[in-house]
Amino acid sequence: MFRNILLWASENTWMKKHIPDMYFTRKAVKRFMPGEELSDALDSAQLFREQGIGTVFTYLGENITSLAEAETVTEHYISAIGEIGKHELFTEISLKLTQIGLDYSFDEALQNFFCIARAARQKDSLVWIDMEGSSYTEITLNFFEKVRGKLPNVGLCIQAYLDRTESDLHKIFQRPAHIRLVKGAYRESPAVALSRKSQVDENYLRLAQLLLEKSAESNGRIVFATHDMSLIDQIQNFAEKDNLAKNRFEIHMLYGIRSSDVVRLKEEGYLVRILISCGDAWYTWYIRRLAERPANLLFVLRNIFRR
């Protein structure tokens, strides 16, 4: 119930406009991001680099309102890639296609993406394509096929709660691919997505096993993006059973969540990255993060009222 309420709140127009200006909300969001500016993300990434932990940057926002805005976002990412290179950070980029104009022009979004991915390739880095709501799944898969045919440094996020994902994976892996598996954070119809946590977890593990099998067959990167330590433990057991080296897959977590587990996994020899967000369009993203694990809401409330 709490998850559905939070997802509704993430889409509510009035709340999007007014809640981000409230003091308690701005204080609470600091749990999940070091600051709104790129410089905040860069400083945080430097600290993680000193611990041997990689990072992924994402500039918050989606469904921009014009192609001019898409160009601004594209310039931001190219600038960020330049700063990442200048500071010699172990950092990649992750973006939403609706940020770079997909709602207005597939071709314009494609050109914007090529500009970003080429800049990243010059730094020997990869760009991740985030998956959005289910209405974008098919066009995002088509977009991914277009770009990976021309550039090798492109990865795709896929969502475990969608009914179609296993079938999509079999098609994707007709060629080697870089894949990041998440549970999914959008409000979806039961006609296209699993609704109960137990179902999503079960499907996540089934897809994880498939990805581990594919990783043994190709050089593609496999990423499990989850804070669910029970799932991570079971994935580790799958890998050990199949004699897969610890560096055959990665674990990605959000900034500010399970920090001690991140350090422990790194010390145990696993490849770990932290997703760091920046930008002022954080409301929708933040509420979805709470919806992924409603227990986080209690943690946030405790921190807000802590003296």
49 is catalytic: no
Find the catalytic residue in 31, 103, 148, 180. 180
Find the catalytic residue in 130, 228, 273, 289. 130
Question: Distances in Å between the alpha carbon of 122 and those of 17, 81, 219?
Answer: 39, 10, 20
CA distance 290 to 292: 5
- Asked if 297 and 6 count as a contact pair (C-beta separation under 8 A), the reply is yes
CA distance 289 to 269: 27
Question: Distances in Å between the alpha carbon of 234 and those of 12, 171, 202?
Answer: 37, 25, 11
233 is catalytic: no
At 84, list the tokens: 């990442």
> Mind telling me the catalytic residues?
130, 180
